[in-house]
Amino acid sequence: MPKRKGYVRLRDIPPDLTDLLNRGETETATLTEQTSMDFAVLLGTLDGWSGSAAGLAQEAARQDFSGHGLVKRMELAGRMVGRHGAFDDVEALQQLIVHPADTVRGFACFAIALHPELGFADKFMAMRPLAADRHFGVREWAWLALRPVVVIAPFEAIALLQGWVSEPDANLRWFAVEITRPRGVWAKHVAPLQAEPWHGLKLLEPCCRDESRYVQDSVANWLNDAARSRPEWVREVCRGWFQSYKDNSACCYIVKRAQRNLSAEVE
């Protein structure tokens, strides 16, 4: 992450910062800064890339990115880098995964999710370094890019991600919970988990006393999502956790935050 205060209003972003972002010479500090970028310019800077940099630059120059929202723009760029090398060349994809610019690493997230040759489990494994990325924005793109896969097969995703909630890296634990939320931000809802949220306990229970506030918030938000369709179930889960771990500050925080939109309190 850049060691500077990020901009939250487009009009406040200085032109020289936008130029640096577009050239891939610095990282974004806020989502607003990424929104201000010209992806066509950034995609034209990958001169040393092992994919077809020239072909990518030419197609990017013809693409009207400005006519789409940010998620769609990221998806378009991810598909584009895929067509020009990331789908066929392992080294080309790896170069995007470790690129210094967080936005390019975000493109890699979508290239992995859209990869026509990667199977279900392979996509999650390929996404691991991006799910654990140091930059908050890349971690968000990692789960957003793979969210459609979870929407199609949520129970299979939960089974696959069970090992992730025991990882020492809090970012991986967060990813496993966040990507399976019944109601995602900027993402399609997962209807089977809205109807039967108890399947998610395989991921939630190992994290109900997690030391990371990042993970705690995700667990609480997962339950808050579930409360929209299964409020009594959420109350029951929170009551059980509280009774078992009432002396644990992390669990107490999760239980309180999970029920923020419910009227009944945990006894």
- C-alpha span between 147 and 256 (Å, rounded): 27
**For residue 149, which amino acid is it?**
V
Size of the chain, expressed as the number of residues it contains: 267
Q: Which residue has the tokens 């080309």?
A: 92
Q: Where are the domains of the chain?
A: 1-151, 153-267
> From the DSSP assignment, how many helices (H) and strands (E) are in the chain?
16, 0
Q: Is 14 exposed, middle or buried (0-12, 13-18, 19+ CB in 10 A)?
A: exposed
A 10 A CB-CB count for 120 gives 12
* 229 Cβ neighbours under 8 A, 6+ residues apart: 182, 194, 195, 197
pLDDT values of the chain reduced to their tens digit, one per residue, 267 residues: 677 889 999 999 999 999 999 999 999 999 999 999 999 999 999 999 999 999 999 999 999 999 999 999 999 999 999 999 999 999 999 999 999 999 999 999 999 999 999 999 999 999 999 999 999 999 999 999 999 999 999 999 999 999 999 999 999 999 999 999 999 778 899 999 999 999 999 999 999 999 999 999 999 999 999 999 999 999 999 999 999 999 999 999 999 999 999 964 443
3-state DSSP percent of the chain in helix, strand and coil, to 5? 65, 0, 35
Q: Where are the beta strands (DSSP E) in the chain?
A: none
Class of CATH domain 153-267: mainly alpha
